[in-house]
């Protein structure tokens, strides 16, 4: 595992159609460091989803390179690409995309089955515990709230212990309070297990949970800033969770001390080894500042 599990080098994506060509990504070079939480923002049509799809191997760039954990995706055939995606990449969609006939635990087990593995109950339950849903294992999506469904989708994306978790507008279908739970969870994952997270959102409040923001316009990265650039000022007082000094247990609703050991030794090691002083201790980004940088961008377009 490299220090930058996701790298894009001069990535271009041109969609062709009878009516003409659309350059959705125009020479994008960007990388994502292990254990960081990045928000990708920009106006509608600026290329956010295309960036995520290319980075996740769901779509192939027209030009340039995408490197996941040191592997260049370009030369991989469809089968090899699918295998890499199943093992190394988690993806969460706005619409949850759970299989409605399956229970939460069956949904979470699905990526393991697709990878030809026989899911062990303990790892499936560990993934559900990690998102605070240990007690909902037997429920079907229709019996769960929107926020719970999205947390099941996150557990499903995490069960293969991917190098990176991509999320495209994961709170787009959720109300404010539920969104906050999902965003705190994503943020906690970066701290608790050193999970690299890349999230597309158009909401400055959602983006403020990240530790870095990339702004796209017309398929290019036009601005980028981190918590260190903007200083503290997060609107959500629960962010720092007063009364819970230990960042390893930042959210009592999700923390499950009993599961840390059963979740696999690899994650525990990388989480505690690399997470010191990272995301949970950070000040968070200010939604106001994010909104003003977005407004400046939109005014200049
Ligand atoms: N499959 C596709 N075929 C043709 N054009 C597409 C396709 N997907 C996206 N585009 C175009 O590429 C541009 C970027 O789209 P997208 O990445 O979805 O933007 P965003 O997620 O920022 O709203 C838009 O102009 C969009 O219309
Ligand atoms: Mg999009």
Among 151-155, 197-201, 221-225, 248-252, the minimum mean pLDDT is found in 248-252
- In this prediction, residue 241 carries a pLDDT of 40
Residue 230 CB less than 6 A away from ligand 1: no
| For residues 184-189, average pLDDT | 96
Residue 22 CB less than 6 A away from ligand 1: yes
Residue 50 CB less than 6 A away from ligand 1: yes
Find, among 249, 253, 254, the residue nearest to 272 by Cα.
Answer: 249
The rounded percent of the chain whose pLDDT value lies above 70 is 81
Q: Is 47 exposed, middle or buried (0-12, 13-18, 19+ CB in 10 A)?
A: buried
**pLDDT tens-place string over residues 195-246:** 999 999 999 999 999 999 999 999 999 999 998 776 555 545 444 443 333 3
34-46+77-262+275-300 CATH fold: Rossmann fold (3.40.50)
Phi then psi dihedrals of residue 214, to 5 deg = -110, 130
Q: Say if CB 210 and CB 37 are below 8 A apart.
A: yes
Residue 45 CB less than 6 A away from ligand 1: yes
Q: Where does the pLDDT of residue 299 fall: very low under 50, low under 70, confident under 90, or very high at 90 and above?
A: confident
Does residue 136 or residue 235 have the better pLDDT? 136
Find, among 168, 179, 181, 189, the residue nearest to 42 by Cα.
Answer: 168
| For residues 29-45, average pLDDT | 96
The rounded percent of the chain whose pLDDT value lies above 90 is 70
Q: Say if CB 8 and CB 29 are below 8 A apart.
A: yes
Ligand closest to the CA atom of residue 54: 1
Structure tokens belonging to residue 187: 């943020």
Average pLDDT, the chain: 84
Find, among 185, 192, 109, 198, the residue nearest to 150 by Cα.
Answer: 185
Q: Where does the pLDDT of residue 259 fall: very low under 50, low under 70, confident under 90, or very high at 90 and above?
A: very low
Ligand closest to the CA atom of residue 168: 2
pLDDT of 167 over the 50 cut: yes
How far away, in angstroms, is 17 Cα from ligand 1 center? 12
Q: Where does the pLDDT of residue 37 fall: very low under 50, low under 70, confident under 90, or very high at 90 and above?
A: very high
How far away, in angstroms, is 51 Cα from ligand 1 center? 10
Report the C-alpha gap between 58 and 219 in whole angstroms: 17
**pLDDT tens-place string over residues 107-120:** 999 999 988 888 99
pLDDT of 267 over the 50 cut: no
Answer positive or negative: Cα dihedral of 42, 171, 236, 154: negative
**pLDDT tens-place string over residues 77-99:** 999 999 999 999 999 999 999 99
Residue ranges per structural domain of the chain: 34-46+77-262+275-300
Report the C-alpha gap between 184 and 209 in whole angstroms: 7
Its pTM stands at 0.84
How many alpha carbons lie under 13 Å from residue 34 in its C-beta half-sphere? 21
């Amino acid at each position: 595992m490299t220090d930058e599990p996701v790298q894009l080098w001069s990535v271009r994506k041109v969609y062709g159609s009878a009516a003409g060509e659309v350059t959705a990504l125009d020479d994008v070079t960007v990388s994502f460091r292990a254990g960081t939480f990045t928000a990708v923002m920009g106006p509608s049509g600026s290329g956010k989803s295309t960036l995520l799809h290319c980075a996740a191997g769901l779509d192939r760039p027209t030009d340039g390179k995408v490197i996941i954990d040191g592997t260049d995706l370009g030369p991989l055939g469809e089968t090899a690409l699918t295998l890499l995606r199943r093992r190394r990449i988690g993806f969460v969609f706005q619409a949850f995309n759970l299989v409605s006939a399956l229970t939460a635990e069956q949904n979470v087990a699905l990526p393991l089955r697709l990878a030809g593995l026989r899911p062990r109950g303990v790892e499936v339950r560990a993934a559900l515990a990690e998102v605070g849903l240990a007690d909902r294992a037997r429920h079907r999506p229709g019996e769960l709230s929107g926020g719970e469904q999205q947390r099941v989708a996150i557990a499903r994306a995490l069960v293969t212990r991917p190098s990176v978790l991509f999320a495209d507008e994961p709170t787009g279908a959720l109300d404010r309070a539920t969104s906050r739970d999902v965003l705190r969870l994503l943020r906690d994952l970066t701290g608790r297990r050193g999970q690299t997270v890349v999230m597309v959102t158009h909401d400055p409040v959602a983006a403020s949970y990240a530790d870095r923001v990339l702004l796209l316009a017309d398929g290019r990265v036009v601005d980028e800033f981190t918590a260190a650039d903007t200083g503290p000022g997060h609107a959500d007082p629960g962010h720092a969770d007063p009364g819970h000094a230990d960042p390893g247990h930042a959210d009592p609703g999700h923390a499950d001390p009993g599961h840390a050991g059963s979740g696999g030794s690899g994650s525990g090691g990388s989480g505690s080894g690399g997470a010191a002083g990272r995301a949970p201790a950070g000040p968070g980004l200010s939604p106001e500042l994010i909104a003003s940088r977005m407004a400046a961008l939109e005014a200049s377009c």
